[in-house]
Structure 1
Amino acid sequence: MYPVLITSPRLGLREFTPDDVDALTDIYGDPRVVEHMSFEPRDRDQVETTISNVTAAARVEPRTEYSLAAVLPSGHLAAFARLAIDTQHPGQSSGQLGFALRADLWGQGLGSEVVRLLLRLGFDELGLYRLWGARGPDNQPSARVMTKLGMIEEGRIRGHINVGGRWRDSVVHSILEPEWHRA
């Protein structure tokens, strides 16, 4: 599926372009935003590489990576949104989602809207059966977003990722297609 364009009243998901480097650097370079993520703040060169990689991955067939720009009606980048289809188990129908929202937009319900758009992409457009996300144990705003959208906390993966030389656990939440359509 290329290009992706999914909208809601306050946000749209679209493909990234090279013009998004500076706006994404503002997000990925902010220590507050990446505090609970699997990487440390990124500089402009690192973000430029990220955008180059995600734009190339968008054209791979079959497409398994959906790294998308979540934009406001003004066109300004609000978040990095990602849905990755599980390729470790061919024939399975699941994907992992994640997002990074600009810190100045926190507390406005936009994180929930980003995840809702990713759920629509995964279930309604791609026909997946299970979507899941992992968060840092201390990331309570992310826990609230996933719970609000009907995602069930499944449990903790101990020593899941290493960030800055320290191992960190992750907490997994998931939702199944029938649960999404009942909500």
Structure 2
Amino acid sequence: MHPVTRGSARLVLRELATADVDAVLAIYGSPVATEHLSFEPRDREQVEQIVARSIAAATATPRTEYALAVIEQTTAELIGFGRLALDPHQQRGATIGFALRPPSWGRGYGVETVRLLLALGFCDLALHRIWGARSRFNEASAKTMSAAGMVEEGTIREHVLKAGKRRDSVVHAILEREFDPCL
């Protein structure tokens, strides 16, 4: 499925473009925005490679990854990055991830982003189960996934190695029958 465009009242998910590197760098290069993510802040070259890989993955057959720009409709600005990746270990399953620019936090954009990713998975791709993981210290992400209908399932112990330390991840998931009607 390419290109992907899916919108809500305030946001649009769209395919990444080469011109998005600076906006993605504002997220992935930020120590604040990446504090609870599974990696250290990225530099420009790394972000260029991520965007290039995402663009290439968008036209792969079969497509297994949807790395998408989160665009605020009123300003047309890229405020976030959302990802849905098909899970090779589960038939009709996928993982999601998302990150927003810190100035966009606290406005409900995270919940809208997650709902858009879930709608992509359940309504467009006919998936059965979608899950995401968060740092156990990321309470904002816990509230976001819960508000989108995802259920906390448990902890993957010492799942992530970041800054030389092992960190637990908390799993949240939702099944197709639990998802609100497709947007």
Per the shorter chain, which TM-score range? Answer: over 0.9
- Residues 1-183 of structure 1 aligned to structure 2 (within 5 Å): 1-73=1-73, 74-89=75-90, 92-181=91-180
Distance 1:149 1:104 in 2: 21
Closer/same/farther in 2, CA of residues 133 and 5 from structure 1, 3 Å limit: same
Superposition TM-score, scaled by structure 2 size: 0.96
Distance 1:49 1:151 in 2: 31
Distance 1:77 1:182 in 2: 27
Q: List alignment gaps of at least 5 residues for structure 2.
A: none
Cα offset for 1:134? 0.1
**RMSD of aligned C-alpha atoms?**
1.2
Distance 1:181 1:107 in 2: 23
- Percent sequence identity over matched residues? 52
Cα offset for 1:88? 2.8
**How big is each residue's C-alpha offset from its partner over 1:6-26, in whole Å with a ceiling of 9 and x where there is no partner?**
011100000000000011101
Superposition TM-score, scaled by structure 1 size: 0.96
Cα offset for 1:182? 6.8
Distance 1:43 1:26 in 2: 10
Distance 1:117 1:63 in 2: 18
Q: SS of 2:32's equivalent? A: helix
Q: SS of 2:21's equivalent? A: helix
Distance 1:68 1:182 in 2: 22
Q: List alignment gaps of at least 5 residues for structure 1.
A: none
Runs of 4+ in structure 1 over 4 Å off:
none
**How big is each residue's C-alpha offset from its partner over 1:127-180, in whole Å with a ceiling of 9 and x where there is no partner?**
001010000000000000111111110000001011121111000000000010
Distance 1:172 1:148 in 2: 15
Q: SS of 1:121's equivalent? A: helix
Distance 1:109 1:10 in 2: 10
Distance 2:88 2:169 in 1: 20
* Paired positions, count: 181
Distance 1:114 1:76 in 2: 14
Distance 1:36 1:110 in 2: 17
